[in-house]
Amino acid sequence: MNPLDLNGKIILVTGASGGIGRETSTLLAKLGATLVLVGRDADKLKKLQRTLKGGKHLACPFDLRQIGQIESLVTSIVDQTGPLNGLVHIAGSQSLSPLRLTAMKKMEDMIQLNLTSGIALVKALSRKGNHSPSGSVVFMSSVAGLTGEAGLSVYSATKGALISLTRSLALELSPAKIRVNAVAPGYVPTDTAENIRKILSKDQMATLISAHPLGLGTPLDVAYSVAFLLAETARWITGITLIVDGGYTAQ
């Protein structure tokens, strides 16, 4: 028996076309899940859909900053797939800049995409008929939500809020047997993280790498933690934040 078996599970993945989202989607499909891929880039979603194992995956291009349309999105998806077994909220944005130089519009977009859309998705998922008798929600947080990070104040705030949201929703949704957990990765090389790497000097980048005792991880390291929290193996786990950071927060 595969402890990460996801056969028969229908799972919605946001941010599916990004680095961690793409790797997570690929792994979940290999483990047997049928996926609903949500992201802003239709071409990338379609390309990913074609590469996934299995043939019933659904690509849904959508800008999650359209908060008022999220409930309709979920209803439309469930009409096509039936009740969802899982939600993985990976979609997010990041900006490395001092607060005084960060435009309000950029802050608002970050809060909507990283946090508010996740709340709206779970609200829609929790409605009767939209979820299976037992389900699993996984929020993608960050070690930035656990430790202070200069230049990442708004991003850190959204990721810290996801951790608090995880605990509260775990209690609120337990009567419906919906588990809610979060994953908090350290620095993982992705397209989004590349934007930060370009800003840092060689010495700053070396310091960042050395702050991870086991070295930098990969998107696949994060994907496996998501798969674990979605699987029946984790059926008695809810309300936790699984830190996947190569020892970054152990210091």
Is the per-residue pLDDT at 11 higher than 90? Answer: yes
Residue 229 CA to residue 224 CA, distance in Å, equals 9
Q: Output the pLDDT for position 81.
A: 97
pLDDT band at residue 194 using 50, 70 and 90 as cut-offs: low
Residue 169 CA to residue 231 CA, distance in Å, equals 19
| Total residue length of the chain | 251
Lowest mean pLDDT among 12-16, 125-129, 151-155, 183-187: 151-155
Is the per-residue pLDDT at 195 higher than 70? Answer: no
Nearest to 144 by CA among 161, 128, 127: 161
Say which CATH topology domain 10-242 has: Rossmann fold (3.40.50)
Lowest mean pLDDT among 28-37, 112-121, 185-194: 185-194
Q: What's the order of all strands across the beta sheet hosting 241-244?
A: 58-61, 34-39, 10-14, 84-89, 131-140, 178-185, 241-244
pLDDT in tens, 124-158: 999 999 999 889 999 999 999 999 888 889 999 99
Average pLDDT value for residue range 161-190: 96
Residue 86 CA to residue 230 CA, distance in Å, equals 7
Of 187 and 175, the one with more pLDDT = 175
Considering 65-74, 90-99, 197-206, the range whose residues carry the highest mean pLDDT is 65-74
pTM above 0.85, yes or no: yes
pLDDT in tens, 109-120: 999 999 999 999
Q: Which residues pair with 69 in a beta bridge?
A: none
Task: Please provide the average confidence, as pLDDT, over all residues in the chain.
Answer: 94
Is the per-residue pLDDT at 56 higher than 70? Answer: yes
| Residues with catalytic function | 155
Q: Are 48 and 22 in contact (CB under 8 A)?
A: yes
Residue 207: other Cβ atoms inside 10 A = 11
State the DSSP H helix or E strand holding residue 39, giving kind and residue range, or none if neither: strand 34-39
Of 198 and 213, the one with more pLDDT = 213
Tokens of 73: 């999105």
Amino acid at site 170: A
Nearest to 58 by CA among 46, 67, 73, 69: 46
What lies within 8 Å, CB to CB, of 213 at 6+ separation is 246, 247, 248, 250, 251
pLDDT above 70 as % of the chain: 96
Q: Output the pLDDT for position 170.
A: 99
Query: Locate tokens 């086991």: which residue?
Result: 214
